Amino acid sequence: MANVATHLRTTPAHGAAGTVLTAAEIAALALSLAHLGAGPQAATARRALRTLLDPAGHDDVVAATLATLTAPMDASTADRARVIAAAITEHRVVRLCYGDAGANVTIREVEPVTCLVHRDHWYLVGWCRMRRGVRAFRFDRILAVESTGLPSRPRRADRYLPFQRRTAHAA
């Protein structure tokens, strides 16, 4: 996956030297904006995020990722994103109705850790209780989501994002 955060560390936008955001922080900001819709405050905040993340000079993968980060979500995806964001914040398990790439639909309980964007897609990253491991779920394949109300174990996002771990060791 594109490591936007590492690129920002080495080439900050518009003289914003010292501005360091992790991939998890960028995703949290963008997710908050993405489900706000297209109102004037959301549009202003998106412009500010685009300025901070300045896609000029990035490769195609990073440019596509930045475009997705700063685009509003459609209403139904935004509704699901709000449930997911609340579950991450409150450390609650969510129940997903998920359709995989092969059109197989499963119901899964997931302990959400973070959300991220890669190219044209938002992903929920979390501990899948059914698979007993970390999985990434594309937002556009999440058919429905609800909070179970059950507590989930707090997990650090950087432990579930391999590029974050490498960045932390390299710094």
Give me the number of domains the chain comprises: 2
User: Closest by alpha carbon to 36, among 69, 73, 89?
Assistant: 73
- Residue 47: per-residue pLDDT: 75
Structure confidence at residue 143 as a pLDDT band (50, 70, 90): very high
Statement to judge: residues 59 and 129 lie in one domain: no
Structural domain includes residue 164: no
Q: Six-digit token pair at 45?
A: 């905040």
Domain that holds residue 139: 75-159
pLDDT of residue 114: 87
Domain assignment present for 167: no
Q: Are 113 and 160 spatial neighbours (Cβ–Cβ below 8 Å)?
A: yes
* Cα Rg of the chain (Å, integer): 16
Stated pTM of the model:
0.69
Q: Are residues 155 and 90 in the same domain?
A: yes
Residue finishing a domain among 20, 42, 73: 73
Domain assignment of residue 170, yes or no? no
In a shared domain, residues 79 and 155: yes
Tell which residue, 77, 113, 96, 106, has the closest CA to residue 148: 96
- Could you tell me the CA-to-CA distances from 38 to 20, 35, 110, 140, 158 in Å, in that order? 27, 9, 29, 19, 30
CB atoms within 10 A of CB 2: 21
> Cα dihedral sign for 60, 37, 75, 143?
positive
Tokens at 114, concatenated: 């973070």
**Do 88 and 155 sit in the same domain of this protein?**
yes
pLDDT for residue 131 is more than 90:
yes
Mean pLDDT of the chain: 76
Q: How confident is the model at residue 164 (pLDDT cuts 50, 70, 90)?
A: very low
Report pLDDT digits (tens) over 9-51: 434 444 445 556 666 677 677 777 766 666 677 777 777 777 7
CATH of the domain at 151: 2.30.30
User: What pLDDT does 159 receive?
Assistant: 67
